[in-house]
Structure 1
Amino acid sequence: MSNYIDRLREQIGKTPIILVGASILARDDNGRVLLQYKCETGNWGLPGGTMRLGETIKETACRKLYEETGIKADNLKLTDIFSGEDFYDIDPDGDCTYNLIVLYEAFGVSDELISESEKSSLNVEYLYPEEVSNLELRSMKILNRIGIFSEDYIS
């Protein structure tokens, strides 16, 4: 988490805040979705994260895609924006957030994922979301709303 958010939390405690972030949808030629294993939650999810002060949301998407997967995309296309009660979250520390998530689809992505030691994710793979038993709820909701993941899988 950024120093900005840490400083904000020191001032306001667990009070809900609005966080702005980006998620990235990248697919291979077989239609599998690029997912990262998030060691802090023990779930698979779309690459993405929180915007830094002074950063554009597209810069956030590019930075998070590279930091978490080592991949650079030739082209990012704005796909959708998600917010509201469905994207309210309480993290393990009890911090409450309403998330505004901007989804970009990445095109011109290389097929080679970087080695484990070079990226911040424990694992990154192209997977069919419905075959992942521990897909995070936020990614399920995003993929469902854009027609990639069936509501039937959401409990």
Structure 2
Amino acid sequence: MSRRTDYFNDPAAPKANSIVPAVTAFVVNDAGDVLLEQRSDNGRWGMPGGVQEVGENIASTVVREVLEETGIHVKVVGLVGIFTDPGHVIAFADGEVRQEFSLCFRARPIGGEIKVSAESFAVQWFRRAELDSLDVSPTTRRRLEEGFRDAEVPLIS
């Protein structure tokens, strides 16, 4: 059962009651494969990530979240973009309805081994050609496209 519901430009979506700084990580290995997890909160494939905690800088959030959720140690090497679409809201089982505010960082693996966590059913490296067949949210698909676009200037939306 889903513990969160994502709404995308849905007039029936509940009104947001919070904005929380969060990160996602576009992690690509030397073969050009991207690291994704099948999320336990909604069953979809997505990039590892989560919310910033008090006392940590944003790059540390990326490193911590990727390690916790996938078992992979990463180094942050850039910024894919800043995603703040007010049309994307996430309703959680506890009543929080969060407006999207996500910084997507580019990262490289530097060690570790794939493992699942309480936040994931599966963790896997995917070739770019495999991504179209995966169940991912529209916002994840956009982050993946921007990550592979590899623009010099990060997207701000």
TM-score, scaled to structure 1: 0.71
Partner of 1:37: 38
Which residue among 127, 130, 133 is the counterpart of 2:132?
130
CA distance in 2 between counterparts of 1:142 and 1:86 reads 16
Bigger relative CO (Cα 8 Å, ≥ 6 apart) = 2
Alpha-carbon displacement from aligned partner over 1:63-122 (angstroms, at most 9, x marks no partner): 101000111123432221111224322235553111211111112434x63344xx3422
User: Is the alpha carbon distance of 1:23 and 1:15 closer, same or farther for their aligned partners in structure 2, counting shifts above 3 Å?
Assistant: closer
Partner of 1:17: 18
Which stretch of the first structure deviates more once superposed, 55-64 or 29-38?
A: 29-38
CA distance in 1 between counterparts of 2:148 and 2:114 reads 29
Name the amino acid aligned to 2:56.
Answer: E
Indicate the RMSD between aligned Cα atoms, in angstroms. 2.3
Partner of 2:49: 48
Deviation at 1:147, TM superposition (A): 4.9
In structure 1, runs of 5+ residues without a counterpart are 1-13, 149-155
Determine what percentage of the aligned residue pairs are the same residue. Answer: 25
CA distance in 2 between counterparts of 1:26 and 1:146 reads 9
Partner of 1:113: 113
CA distance in 1 between counterparts of 2:61 and 2:36 reads 17
In structure 2, runs of 5+ residues without a counterpart are 1-14, 150-157
* Greater fraction of residues in helix: 1
Partner of 2:29: 28
CA distance in 2 between counterparts of 1:80 and 1:147 reads 12
CA distance in 2 between counterparts of 1:43 and 1:84 reads 20
Q: Does the CA contact (< 8 Å) of 2:72 and 2:109 recur in 1?
A: no
The alignment of Structure 1 onto Structure 2 pairs a total of residues equal to 131
User: Is the alpha carbon distance of 1:71 and 1:24 closer, same or farther for their aligned partners in structure 2, counting shifts above 3 Å?
Assistant: same
Q: Does the CA contact (< 8 Å) of 1:33 and 1:129 recur in 2?
A: no
Deviation at 1:55, TM superposition (A): 2.0
TM-score, scaled to structure 2: 0.71
* Greater fraction of residues in strand: 2
Name the amino acid aligned to 1:83.
Answer: T
User: Is the alpha carbon distance of 1:28 and 1:92 closer, same or farther for their aligned partners in structure 2, counting shifts above 3 Å?
Assistant: same
Residue 66 in 1 paired to residue 67 in 2? yes
CA distance in 2 between counterparts of 1:79 and 1:124 reads 21
